[in-house]
Structure 1
């Protein structure tokens, strides 16, 4: 009978039965964070390949066609102004402010959500701020 130290080789395609030692990392928290960043960028690129994602900024007036999660057949159209955007890779969100029956309503949407069916930019304006929370007090900015 053979010793346990001898490698077992039957074919060139077969795998030897030696044990593989795990790789030791000096900082496993940094390594996992780096791996998660790579996976996040790959997921964003996969979504961008499947459908067109527009580069949106604050103060863009947009029209969204959003699929209602409760009823997959129903698509609602929302028109409003983007007052904020939060960049977080695949979890990037934007805040849409619109008027419903004379009352300002804000909604937060994930940019890469499969529920957003169509995204159309109606108007672009130049602003100096990234977050337009001051439009909450000024309702006339939305009445166009």
Structure 2
């Protein structure tokens, strides 16, 4: 997932919010010690930052885009650069409509694949009956 983390940074007496946007590489720990690592490319240099889940300096975390990877911890992206660093988008995406977050699902694809399975099964059962009738004749 690509996320955007809003962090409060104190510079002298002033406080400001800085945004760190990148790809989540790993989530580790549990409870109060849970943390996650976010990696981004900044001017061609990879920057990783470890964020604790329970931290008062984190103002909010936004999910920008959900991606599909075949590994639980995609450390292999550390070696990638340029266009190969892009992660394939997940088919389920979130859309913001009038401030409400709605989730589009892939129910249509599952029903279509279920109907294809049914047609395949009926076609195979009719072909077996044809074979049996030819054998009986």
**TM above 0.5:** yes
**Alpha-carbon distance in structure 1 between the residues aligned to 2:75 and 2:3:** 17
The Cα of 1:137 is off from its aligned counterpart by 0.5
Unmatched tracts of structure 2, length 5 or more: 88-137
Match of 2:29 in 1: 87
**Alpha-carbon distance in structure 2 between the residues aligned to 1:116 and 1:97:** 16
User: What's the TM-score, normalizing by structure 2?
Assistant: 0.56
User: What's the TM-score, normalizing by structure 1?
Assistant: 0.53
Indicate the RMSD between aligned Cα atoms, in angstroms. Answer: 2.0
Name the structure, 1 or 2, with higher relative contact order (CA <8 Å, separation 6+). Answer: 1
Match of 2:58 in 1: 116
For the Cα contact (< 8 Å) 1:61–1:122, is it kept in 2?
yes
Unmatched tracts of structure 1, length 5 or more: 1-59
2:19 to 77, 84, 92: 77
**Greater share of strand:** 2
Larger CA Rg, structure 1 vs 2: 1
In structure 2, the residue corresponding to 1:130 is in which secondary structure? coil
**Greater share of helix:** 2
